[in-house]
């Protein structure tokens, strides 16, 4: 999954993200699996919910 994300991320020309791709994928999987709120996920990763 990370390899696919790396290929897609290489095509985009945007600013640097606060989280690396592995953390972004894990955050997405936590959201889908556990139905956690953005607030709680943001608290775990030290970022805002928006």
Q: Which residues are CB-neighbours of 44 under 8 A, at least 6 positions away? A: 30
Whether 8 is covered by a domain: the verdict is: no
CA-closest candidate to residue 28, choices 39, 18, 38: 38
Is the CA virtual torsion 33, 36, 41, 44 positive or negative?
negative
> Looking at residue 11, what is its pLDDT?
64
Whether 31 is covered by a domain: the verdict is: yes
Query: The whole model's pTM is what?
Result: 0.67
For residue 39, what are the domain limits?
17-50
Whether 46 is covered by a domain: the verdict is: yes
Residues in the chain: 50
**Token pair belonging to 47:** 């970022």
Whether 9 is covered by a domain: the verdict is: no
Whether 12 is covered by a domain: the verdict is: no
Per-residue pLDDT tens listing for the chain (50 residues)? 888 888 877 766 676 778 888 888 888 898 889 888 888 888 888 888 76
> Looking at residue 12, what is its pLDDT?
67
């Amino acid at each position: 999954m990370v390899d696919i994300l790396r290929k897609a991320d290489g095509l985009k020309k945007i600013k640097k993200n606060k989280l690396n791709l592995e953390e972004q994928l894990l955050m997405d999987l936590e959201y889908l699996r556990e139905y956690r709120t953005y607030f709680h996920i943001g608290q775990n990763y030290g970022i805002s919910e928006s």
